[in-house]
Amino acid sequence: MGNWMSKIYKPKIVKFALNSWPPFWGAGIKILSISDDFREVKMKLKLRWWNKNANRTQYGGSIFSLTDPVYSLMLMGILGDQYYVWDKEASINFIKPGQSDLYADFLVPLDQLEEILRLTANGDKCFPEFIIHVKDKNGNVVSEVQRKLYVRKKPRFREESEQQTA
């Protein structure tokens, strides 16, 4: 994220931009809320005729897409332009069919954030993992998604950290 981007990278703007983003609205994905500190996001996947599978339930690709860039974008908002944040790995476990709108809550716990900052302070890579439980309208888990990210300070900020510790 460039310096100009970090100035406009605010929860309300990110929410508006992603709710307008064609891959999200086309899949029926909507961001319901983003906390002011980017540590919590709530999302919804609407069940529509065009995102149903052959069994008339939520299409698995849409469920997976619901979770796709969220933790990366959250950490970008939290850590700012000093860090690279990328999705590295992901897997999904389909537990039961999604027969209604689906919901996902994303949280970056404070202790996990502190661990990320500690591990990356000297420019090392960090691979935090997050689990998302996608639930139906009754709160039943329909899928569990595991996401692993890549987090590392950008080179110019690594040098600043080394100079400060010297």
How confident is the model over 32-78, as pLDDT tens digits?
Answer: 999 999 999 999 999 998 888 899 999 999 999 999 989 999 999 99
- Average pLDDT value over all residues in the chain: 92
Distance CA(87)–CA(149), nearest Å, equals 4
Q: Inter-axis angle of helices 70-79 and 110-120, to 10 degrees?
A: 70
- Domain boundaries of the chain, sorted by first residue: 4-157
Model confidence band, residue 163 (pLDDT cutoffs 50, 70, 90) = low
> What percentage of the chain carries pLDDT values higher than 70?
92
Gyration radius of the chain's alpha carbons: 17
pTM score of the predicted model: 0.89
Please provide the CATH number assigned to the domain covering 4-157: 3.10.129.10
**Residue 139: which region, alpha, beta or left (left: phi > 0; alpha: psi -120 to 50)?**
left
Token pair in block for residue 9 = 């990278």
Whether 6 and 75 have beta carbons less than 8 Å apart is answered as: no
Residues 89-115: b if buried by 16+ CB within 10 A, e if exposed: ebebeeeeebbbebbbebebeeeebee
